[in-house]
Amino acid sequence: MYRLRYVSPPPHNFSDTPPEPFDAPASLHRSGVARKTPGNPNRTDSPGSPMSLESDALRRIAPSATIAISAKARALKAEGKNVIALSAGEPDFDTPDNIKDAAIAAIRAGKTKYTDPDGMPELKAAICAKFERENGLDYKPSQVHIAPGGKPVIYNALVATVNPGDEVVIPAPYWVSYPDMVLLAGGTPVPVATTAENGFKLVAADLEKAITPKTKWLILNSPSNPSGAAYTREELQAIADVLLRHPQVWVLTDDMYEHLVFDDFEFVTIAQVEPKLYDRTLTMNGVSKAYAMTGWRIGYAGGPEPLIKAMAKMISQTTSNPASISQWAAVEALNGTQDFIKPNAKLFQKRRDLVVSMLNQASGIHCPTPEGAFYVYPSVEGLIGKTAPSGKVIKTDEDFAVELLETEGVAVVHGAAFGLSPFFRISYATSEDVLEDACGRIQRFCGNLK
Ligand SMILES: Cc1ncc(COP(=O)(O)O)c(C=O)c1O
């Protein structure tokens, strides 16, 4: 079944309570309180009850599973346990010095005031130059939106355009935040399952089946978090050909991991592949991953002027501008030396090869080789139904992740959090020594299952 109705997964408490099925018809909170999903008939609270503090929109979503697992790993570490967290999605190296220096210079020069809400002209100019230089895309400054991170860029686009009943097609596995941001915006996420055989990439026929007259957006993410899959020019063209037949559908392409591609893979983005989609594409990117700037909070996008104006209106009444100092740092990131980008990608490629090889030596695990990002998305199908030495039966990928964390101290994220089971995600943005240790523990864990 490829066209699924999204039901937000319950929050993860990592206790011994058996997990509810991911696609339970009414998403019942573990505490027994019904969470509101669109049209959820099981809602138990009434206006005026303590539960009514939370808005209907908020009760449609679940907290981020990746953040929950990282928090659990930190708590175990604080108890003195030897825990390796492979759950966080950020580069393990520091922001390059030229970028830090630009920020310090901005502070000293007093560039510490408000800027235009959706970004200052100097950064918009640097972004236009980047799109031209690296993607062959011609955007004017009036076509650029800047926000405090890539996440708010996506959120601003959805809130500015999605009406109740609008559908947003999201290939699964997906980055955890897409469906919940759609729900917050009042829309309906429509996950479309991909397969490991297709490299976790959306195929044209499945996209065609998922589109209805209510489809407003397709969200693409290449290279992908969580699978590392990246689309070739031909694969994007096949998707573009479907979209050309459905003029009501806009495309949001999340190119956050553009610079992390391996084995001479050529990164391309959909507006570049099919210029006829330029007028309905939002090309989103950011400095977080490529320049190790996750904490600086700068994301950006290029798109058609009416969409960018709508997003500017939205940001003018909410966050206003991202930190002026971070914007000056991002100017240097985009305009300054790019020398470290290729060596970094090489480093990540080496880590990918290590992890893929070691995981494929773990009994019951199959790990495909992804084209980019810093994640692998192995299958645990071969382990389902097996029993751990503790007596626990591994029924789901969440059982696998919980038991692995509790017995071997390795934190990974279960595939259900990304909408496709039975898999798990490893972030290999850490040193080879740590990765070897972690993969050795996973091998031992799998070997001990009966
Ligand atoms: C696919 C993808 N898009 C967007 C983001 C958000 O990036 P930022 O930290 O700039 O908000 C992330 C972060 O993990 C991501 O993995």
Strand order in the sheet with 144-147: 144-147, 299-302, 281-286, 250-254, 215-221, 167-172, 188-193
Would the CB of 149 count as within 6 Å of ligand 1?
Answer: yes
Task: Give me the domains of the chain, ranges plus CATH numbers.
Answer: 65-93+341-447 (3.90.1150.10), 115-335 (3.40.640.10)
What whole-number distance in Å separates Cα of residue 175 and Cα of residue 103? 30
Ligand 1 center–CA 384 separation, angstroms: 31
Structure tokens at 71: 């928090």
Pocket probe for ligand 1: among 145, 225, 374, the residue whose CB has the most ligand atoms within 8 Å is 225
Ligand 1 center–CA 220 separation, angstroms: 13
Which helix H or strand E contains 121, and what residues bound it? helix 121-135
Ligand 1 center–CA 114 separation, angstroms: 25
Ligand 1 center–CA 296 separation, angstroms: 12
| Tens digit of each residue's pLDDT, the chain (450 residues) | 345 556 555 544 433 333 332 232 222 222 222 233 333 333 344 545 555 799 998 998 987 777 778 788 888 989 999 999 998 888 899 999 999 999 999 999 999 999 999 999 999 999 999 999 999 999 999 999 999 999 999 999 999 999 999 999 999 999 999 999 999 999 999 999 999 999 999 999 999 999 999 999 999 999 999 999 999 999 999 999 999 999 999 999 999 999 999 999 999 999 999 999 999 999 999 999 999 999 999 999 999 999 999 999 999 999 999 999 999 999 999 999 999 999 999 999 999 999 999 999 999 999 999 999 999 999 999 999 999 999 999 999 999 999 999 999 999 999 999 999 999 999 999 999 999 999 999 999 999 999
Q: Which pLDDT score, from 0 to 100, does residue 44 have?
A: 41
Q: Which atom of ligand 1 is nearest to the CA of 153?
A: 11
Ligand 1 center–CA 385 separation, angstroms: 34
By the 8 A CB rule, do 187 and 60 touch?
A: no
Q: Which atom of ligand 1 is nearest to the CA of 297?
A: 10
Pocket probe for ligand 1: among 145, 180, 256, 259, the residue whose CB has the most ligand atoms within 8 Å is 256
Q: Which atom of ligand 1 is nearest to the CA of 287?
A: 10
Ligand 1 center–CA 340 separation, angstroms: 20
- The letter for the amino acid at 234 is E
Would the CB of 173 count as within 6 Å of ligand 1?
Answer: no
Closest residue by CA, ligand 1 atom 16: 225
By the 8 A CB rule, do 425 and 376 touch?
A: yes
Ligand 1 center–CA 315 separation, angstroms: 18
Residue 301, strand partner residues = 145, 284
Q: Which pLDDT score, from 0 to 100, does residue 2 have?
A: 45
Would the CB of 258 count as within 6 Å of ligand 1?
Answer: no
Q: Which atom of ligand 1 is nearest to the CA of 298?
A: 10
CB atoms within 10 A of CB 310: 17
By the 8 A CB rule, do 191 and 419 touch?
A: yes
What whole-number distance in Å separates Cα of residue 243 and Cα of residue 276? 10
Q: Which atom of ligand 1 is nearest to the CA of 288?
A: 10
For residue 95, give every residue at least 6 positions away whose Cβ sits within 8 Å of its Cβ, in sequence order, or none.
Answer: 291, 292, 293, 296, 329
Task: Write phi, then psi, for 283 (nearest 5 degrees).
Answer: -95, 105
Would the CB of 148 count as within 6 Å of ligand 1?
Answer: no
Pairing of strands 215-221, 250-254: parallel
Q: Which pLDDT score, from 0 to 100, does residue 190 have?
A: 98
Ligand 1 center–CA 112 separation, angstroms: 26
Ligand 1 center–CA 256 separation, angstroms: 6
Q: Which pLDDT score, from 0 to 100, does residue 87 have?
A: 86
Would the CB of 225 count as within 6 Å of ligand 1?
Answer: yes
The rounded radius of gyration (Å) of the Cα atoms in the chain is: 22
What whole-number distance in Å separates Cα of residue 423 and Cα of residue 376? 10
Distance of CA 388 to the CA centre of its chain: 31
Dihedral over Cα of 319, 322, 325, 326: its sign: positive
Would the CB of 311 count as within 6 Å of ligand 1?
Answer: no
Ligand 1 center–CA 319 separation, angstroms: 18
Q: Which pLDDT score, from 0 to 100, does residue 227 have?
A: 98
By the 8 A CB rule, do 110 and 450 touch?
A: no
Ligand 1 center–CA 289 separation, angstroms: 8
Would the CB of 178 count as within 6 Å of ligand 1?
Answer: no
Closest residue by CA, ligand 1 atom 7: 150
DSSP string computed for 187-250? -EEEEEE--TTTTT---HHHHHHH--TTEEEEEEESS-TTT-----HHHHHHHHHHHHT-TT-E
CA dihedral 121, 125, 131, 133 (to 10 degrees): -170
Which helix H or strand E contains 356, and what residues bound it? helix 341-360
